[in-house]
Every structure is written in structure tokens, then in C-alpha cells.
A and B are shown apart, each in its own frame.
Chain A
Amino acid sequence: MKSNKNILSVLLNKRHKGRTISYTLVVAAWIILTVLQRGGHVSSLIAGLLVPITCYMVAALGLNLNVGISGELNLGQAGFMSVGAFTAVCISGYLAASIPAAPLRLAIALIGGAFVAVIFGLVIGIPVLKLQGDYLAIVTLAFGQIIKSIITNMYLGFDENGFQFSFVQNTTELAPGGKMLLNGPMGATGTQRIATFTAGVILVLIALMIIYNLIWSKSGRAIMAARDNRIAAELSGINITNTKMLSFVVSAGLAGAAGALYGLNYSTLVPNKFDFNTSILILVYVVLGGLGNMNGTMIATVVLVLLPELLRSLQDYRMLIYAVVLIVIMLITNNEHLKTWFKSIRSKQADSRKEAA
């Protein structure tokens, strides 16, 4: 009895409360949806949205580490998703014959996608993290655009004679039976759809685990110290560039894995999908959910992916209403009067609790 109570109090103490809630939320959602799906109670609409929601969630969690915890505005998250997605699609396409088992191939492709995105994160992070504030933001935007431009111009195919690669001008000539893995602006087509909701949920859990462990580690404290006061942190002997690099690279890796899952959920993937708008979309999930608040990010992602679908009955007006909702939410959540009002409610509750105790 006593030990039980102890475990519970540990799980709900300040340090663990956030992650306990996160894991519980995710696992509960998975169980409920899986049971409903088995029973045939989930509509095709929702069933089709499950995997993309987990993808956006993972990318947004990574971005929240970057923007919320580390305090760097990153406008190029879609670029890392793109790198991960196309890497994974290529890996899966190439291994389709040799590894027929979908879960294994999915795992390899996800790891591959995340790995390449991490490399990109490292290479891009070196110049980017020398800059600060809005200059950093625009450089991430620039890298996002460059990645899109480059992938739009890559041609990669393979046949029985091996790989053929060309850039800008498509010169690949495949023998019959060959397969184009990347076809320039047309991206990847004929991808086997091996992504599953369960894989998505596992990916979300892994992302949460990585982020929470990082936040509560020594490096995590250093990252937050660097965010709150760069100079004071530097004076305390923290290597600013290294700490920022850590969060940047982890964020890139998560985006890569998210992109990988996304890419393997559709039979076709175009480079244009991961443009500036997608980066912004993910940023909106993060800001709306609350900077540094992982649960908020997850909930905001679900709400904002579903919102346009729920507004479909408004037909042509739905994106207009979506924009209005976005503005109104930002105005309400940042309204000083409302904040004070909430605060007064909280303190009253706290008072009554004290009295009860």
C-alpha cells in the first residue's frame, strides 16, 4: 500500500507529472482508437488522419524542443521532414524486394530517415547557430527552401545494373523493371504504404521519452539557461553553441523520423509538400499548444489537424473561418484581462484547497 502510494507520488511530483500525463494520454488514445477501430466504429475519415496526426505531432514535439525549450525560432522544420521522408521512401523502395516484412522495413526506413536528418541538422546547425533571433529564423527558412529546391531537382533510380543519379537534368535511363526512387518534381510514386498508427504512437512515445529525458538532464538545464540568459549561462561555463546544437539536432532528427513515417503513409510524395507553409503549420501547433508544453503541443496538433475537417460543412468558407479561429485564439490566449481572471480563479482554488487541508 505504502510503496504504491510512493510510486504514485513519484509519478505525480513536479519532475514527472508532465511526462506521466503525456504517456498516459498517448497510450490511452492508442488503446481507445485501436479498440474502436477493431470494432469498426472509426470512420474512414478519422482512420486516414491517424498516421498524419502522429507525424505532425512528432515534428511539432521536436520543434517545441527547439523553439520552446531552446528558444530558437526555426522556420525550416519542414525541410528536415522532407529529408527524412525522401530518405525513408528511397530506403523502403530499394529494400522492398529484399525485406518483405513491412514492420522491419518500416523500422529501418524510420531510423534511416532520422539519421540523415540528424546529419543535415549538424551541417546546417553549424552556420545557423552562430546567428541570433530573427536572423537565425530567416536562415532556417532559407535552408528549408534550399532543401526543397534541391530535392525537386534530384533524380534517383535503380535497375539490375545498380543506381543511377542525376541532378537538374534527368538523364536516368532505366532498364525495364527498374524503379525511379526520386523523380524530380514528381517526387516519389508507387511507394508501398507501410506506415501504421501503432508505429506512429510508438514514435510519439519515443519522441516524448527523448525530449523529457533531455529536458531533465544536465544538458537540458544548460539549454534552458542559455535561452533565459545567454551571457549569464556563458559565464557559468556553459558552451552555448554545443547546447543549442544538441536541441537543434534532436529536433531535426525527430522531424526526420516524422517525415519518414509520413512519406511511407502515402503512395506518392511530392517535394512541394514540405514548403514554407508546412513549416509554419507545425510552428502554429507549437505556439498554440504553449512553448515548452509538450502536452499542449500534442493536443493543439490534434485540434488543428481536425479543425479544417470539422469545418467542411462550411464549404468554401472553411479556410476563412479557420483563419479567423486562429487569430481569435491568439488574441484570447494573450489577453491580459483573461489571464488575470484565470489567475484569480487558480488562486481561489488554491486557497480553498489550503482551507480544506
Chain B
Amino acid sequence: MAAPVLFCGTIGTILRLALFRTGIPDWLRSRKEVVTPITSWDRVLEGISLQKQFISPYAGDIFHETPILLRLLQFVDYVPGGAKTVFVLVDLLTGIVLHRICLEFSKHELKRQTLEVASYSPKAKHLLITVRQLSSLPFTVAALHFFGPYSICSCLAFSTAVFSNLALLCCWLYTLQGNVTLSCLSLAMAAYQSFYPAVCIVPVAIHHYLYNNPKATSFTSPNAVKSYIRTALTFTVCFAALLLASSRLEGGSWSFLRSTYGFILSVPDLTPNVGIFWYFFTEMFEHFRTFFVCVFQINVFIYAIPLAVKLRERPLFQLYVVMAIISIFKSYPSYADTALYLSLLPLWKHVFGYLRNGLVVTVMYSVVAVVAPILWHLWIYSASANANFYFAITLVFSTAQIFLLTDLMFAFLRYEYDLHHGIEHYLANGKKTVVVLQ
């Protein structure tokens, strides 16, 4: 591993261990932006102790982790240092995976570029990705992961979302390596943990097809369809195997499904978080609830289809966008989801020149980070503000994420366009023009 990355990893780990000695983790564990009912460590402890009493943790309404993770987390007590060690190690492991993703991604992008460079405009020479540019990528990603406030918060708060994040990043790694089985397995694990990542199978399947047929032009040929089905089947088998294993662990009972995926999909817990569900469904008349739950949940999945059509030649970017969409629209989002896609953001460094709302988005993110706890305090403790104040700030957060995403997509498309048409655009009469997206 390169020295700067190692440096980031060391300092990041020391920083986390140092922060564990302060009062911050306890505070973070009660923050609704960082911890959701699904990822709360307190609930995991509850589940473990119920398990030890031979009471099914899924009989109540507290525990929403999956059975396999519950079994694994039971061993936390035997680890020296307890949960702190485990979560710091998971963060370290995530960092390593991220590092390898960067290396693989650089290799992959350069390979793709050499293949396609013939079709690019000669005037777009300096737009091409260079090795020098890519060399700083691992460092940037590592710095974002190890010093990013969002990932530090999730680690300190023992948010169990870090496990599904790790699985999803493994999926990235194996997808980049073209390993169908392992990528499907890790995606199945991510989906098993938090369900929504299942939708990532679309870009993953397209990527595997492109990986094996780099010269492919048709995306609907029988060959392609066969490849998609193979990937999808592998994923389904892995996912089913995980579910069956869980059921066996639970003694043949399927009750965990209701507590985990049922809980994610039907959204019974309306504790405020940074998402869009809680306020809306608090205000909702009860008999419209089912309908709107369906609408809101479809919202998470539906974007995969237009993206699959539009970005079919760039499945990795598509995977990234799908991931970001999940973290915006999922039923119980938290900063851990934000941390996931923010740490991968530098992968698209080559299009940053086209970003337009960088400042606006940065300011919005920082305003939310600072003001959300204050409004929470004013609402819950001082009772001088009310739910609308807090909802306003969660709306700002959603808007910021959407701004970032649309801006990134715009920049990406614009970059691709310029690659093929050159950076300077001329009208028929030889005048310079500017391309505007409206």
C-alpha cells in the first residue's frame, strides 16, 4: 500500500480510538441522523441478550438485525476491546477494500479508454484520463474514508450499517475484477443485510456482460440476455441460500422476515431520521398508508430502469448512481449511507471540472450537519421548536444529496459528450458556442 494511504489509515485509526475515549460516541449513539432502528447498536445488545435467554429476538418489536449477523455479533464479547475493536477493524477493512477498488478502477478505466480512444474526438485529447491523474485516487479516497466525518460518526456510533457497506464495497471490488460468483455473493450479503442493495444487480449484471464482451454493441442480444440471467441467477441463489441458512439458524422459523425486510418495507417505526418517510407517514391518514408506502418504496427501485437504459455503456457509474439513490430514498437512511457514496465520489474525479454546484452542495451538507442536532434539541428538549423545524432540515439534506447526484450525472454526461465531440464547439459558420443542458 502506498505510503500516503497507510498514513491516512494509521491516523484515521488513532483518531477513532482517541475519540472513543471522549463522550462523543455516547452522544452519537442517540443521534437520529447517525443511528436508525435498524442499525442501532443498543438494539443489537438487546437482541443478543434475548438470544442468550432463549427468547426469539424477533418476537418483539425491538430487534431488526438479520439472524446471521446476530450470531456473528455475539462473538464481540470475546474480542479484546469489545465492539470498539470490531468497528475500528471493520472501518480499517473498508479502507483496504476501498484502496483496492481504486486500483482496480484505475486499471479498468484505462483499459476501457484505450479500447474506445479511437472513437473520441481528436480535440478532446487533454480530457483523457491519465495515469498521473489516477495516481492520487487511492489517497483521496482513503482520506475521505478515514477523515470523513460521516464515516467516523458511523464507526463511533457502532452503526451496524458499516457491515452492509463493507459487503457492498466488496461487491464493487469483485465486480471490477469480473468475478461473477464473488460479486453476486457479496451483493447478496449486502442485500441480505439491508435489502435495498438488491437493485444494484442491474448495473452489476450489465458490467459482467461488458467485462466479458468488451466489444459488445447490442445490449439485448441473446448472448447478453443469457449473461444477465446467469448473473441474476447466481445472485438469487446466493440470496436464497443466505435466507435458508438464517431460517435454519432460527430453528426453521421464518419470523425474522417480518422483523427485518417487513420492517424495512412497511416502515412501521416513524422515529425521525434524515429521510423523507417519517414526516410524511406521520401526517398520513391511515387508510392511504399502504398505497403511499408502495409508491415511496417503488421510488427507490424504479430509477434503476431508466438508468440502465441511459447509462448502459457505463455500468460502474450506473452502480454508483443507484447506490446514491438508495441512500436518499430508503426508508431508514442514516449518515452511514452517505458515508458510503461520499467515499467513492473521487472515482469520478475526471468529471469534477464540469460540476457546477459544488459550493452550494458543500454548504448544504455542512448546514445540515451543524443545524440538525440544534433543531433536534430545540424540538425535543427545549420544546420551543417543533417537528417542522427538524423536517425542514432533513428536507435540506435530501435536496443536497439530490443536487449532488444530478450535478454529478450532468457532469458525467457532459464529459462523455465532450470526449466524443471535442471541448470546443463550433456552429456551422465557425462561431464558438457553449453547450447548455436545459
Q: Do A and B come from one complex?
A: no
